[in-house]
């Protein structure tokens, strides 16, 4: 009878142990975060194991008791690394812990967007990477560094070739800007530099003209024609008289109609008052616009005006008389729609 009871107890104990082991193995091997999609958490410089656990809980991580146990045994407190980490994608708690403890960050895809100003660019980078807006703006005003990179405050944005770049969230601003310079140099191949030189333009001037083309039209097929029209004006020594440069000079990108009073704004970017290209780009243009300048359409046009059809396209003219008629029709269409 005693042996029978002992046998039952031993069997029960073994069964309980097996159940505990099975439960533990299940927790350790199943997805740490439910599902197979990536799940990112951001570890800051002042984070501790406890605050990281709070972030994991907020991400609905499972088996936190196992993570906390590994944190104690693995002395995670001595190995908390800043960064952006994927704790999802179907990985288990062991893999997620190793990733965090080892500082194995998940890179960020930095998609350089079309923005209008350096402040816009700094704010975008601050939303995408760890350094804040103020840190980026300090860097953008560092004349010594910009000079080293072959730029100045006005031409800073020409260093940013619109594309997608893989970078770590914790990258230092200076290192990122130097990377942009390397990407800039890689883009400006000998062939592209020769294309620019054939137009009498430097790479920075191509970029600046491309920024005007970018703002003038969103209709891709029209961009080489717009570029050709402005290039003709440059060749003849005519002022560009580009409305987007007035918006940039005023700092008001919501204007739908440029009035005569707007044209008087005193700024080196106002191409109604100043000859030649502005000191630098008025936005970050798309690759399509940059290539439109390099492969501009050789035409006789000297004037352009938005179409009265409001279809995103323009009417082009070779004479002032033709242009004034195009402008009259457009102004009438604006009036009819009550656009001020």
CA distance from start to end of the chain? 101
Beta bridge partner(s), residue 40: 86
Domains of the chain are 29-106 (3.30.1490.480), 109-187 (no CATH), 190-336 (no CATH)
pLDDT attached to residue 308:
84
The model carries a pTM of 0.85
How many residues make up the chain in this entry?
A: 340
Q: Which helix H or strand E contains 330, and what residues bound it?
A: helix 320-336
Q: Where are the beta strands (DSSP E) in 123-237?
A: 164-167
CB 340 within 8 A of CB 245: no
Q: Rounded distance, CA 187 to CA 291, Å?
A: 11
Q: Where are the beta strands (DSSP E) in 198-284?
A: none
pLDDT attached to residue 1:
55
User: pLDDT digit of tens for each residue in the chain (340 aa)?
Assistant: 555 555 555 544 444 443 334 344 455 668 999 888 999 999 999 999 999 999 999 999 998 999 999 999 999 999 999 999 999 999 999 999 999 999 999 999 999 999 999 999 999 999 999 999 999 999 999 999 999 999 999 999 999 999 999 999 999 999 999 999 999 999 999 999 999 999 999 999 999 999 999 999 999 999 999 999 999 999 999 999 999 999 999 999 988 888 889 999 999 999 999 999 999 999 999 999 999 999 999 999 999 988 888 888 899 999 999 988 888 898 888 888 887 6
User: Cα separations (Å) of 232 from 155, 200, 268?
Assistant: 23, 12, 21
Segment 265-268 long-range contacts (CB within 8 Å, at least 24 positions apart): none
CB 321 within 8 A of CB 252: no
Q: Which residue carries 């439109």 as its tokens?
A: 292
- The residue among 177, 164, 41, 69 whose CA lies nearest residue 110 is 164
Q: Which residue carries 């739908």 as its tokens?
A: 256
pLDDT attached to residue 19:
39
pLDDT attached to residue 21:
41
Q: Rounded distance, CA 138 to CA 120, Å?
A: 14
Residues 6+ apart with CB under 8 A from 296: 199, 224, 227, 228, 231
Q: Which residue carries 């960020």 as its tokens?
A: 108
């Amino acid at each position: 009878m005693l042996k029978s009871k002992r046998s039952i107890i031993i069997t029960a104990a073994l069964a309980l142990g097996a159940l505990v082991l099975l439960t533990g193995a299940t927790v350790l091997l199943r997805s740490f975060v439910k599902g197979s999609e990536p799940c990112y958490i951001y570890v800051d410089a002042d984070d501790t194991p406890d605050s990281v656990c709070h972030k994991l809980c907020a991400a609905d991580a499972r088996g936190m008791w196992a993570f906390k146990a590994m944190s104690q045994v693995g002395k995670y407190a001595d190995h908390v690394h800043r960064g952006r980490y994927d704790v999802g994608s179907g990985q288990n708690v062991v893999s997620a812990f190793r990733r965090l403890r080892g500082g194995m960050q998940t890179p960020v895809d930095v998609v350089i967007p079309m923005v209008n100003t350096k402040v816009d660019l700094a704010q975008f980078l601050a939303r995408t990477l760890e350094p804040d807006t103020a840190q980026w703006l300090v860097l953008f005003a560092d004349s010594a560094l910009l000079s080293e990179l072959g730029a100045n405050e006005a031409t800073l944005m020409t260093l940013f070739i619109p594309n997608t770049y893989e970078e770590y969230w914790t990258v230092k601003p200076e290192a990122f800007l130097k990377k942009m310079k390397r990407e800039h140099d890689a883009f400006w191949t000998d062939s592209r530099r020769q294309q620019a030189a054939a137009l009498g333009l430097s790479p920075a001037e191509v970029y600046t003209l491309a920024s005007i083309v970018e703002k003038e039209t969103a209709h891709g097929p029209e961009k080489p024609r717009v570029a050709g029209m402005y290039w003709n004006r440059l060749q003849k020594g005519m002022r560009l008289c580009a409305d987007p440069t007035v918006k940039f000079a005023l700092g008001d990108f919501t204007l739908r109609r440029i009035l005569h009073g707007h044209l008087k704004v005193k700024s080196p970017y106002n191409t109604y008052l100043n000859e030649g290209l502005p000191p630098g780009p008025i936005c970050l243009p798309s690759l399509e616009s940059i290539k439109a300048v390099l492969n501009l359409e050789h035409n006789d046009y000297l004037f352009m005006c938005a179409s009265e059809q409001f279809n995103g396209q323009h009417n082009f003219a070779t004479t002032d008389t033709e242009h004034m008629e195009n402008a009259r029709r457009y102004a009438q269409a604006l009036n009819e729609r009550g656009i001020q």
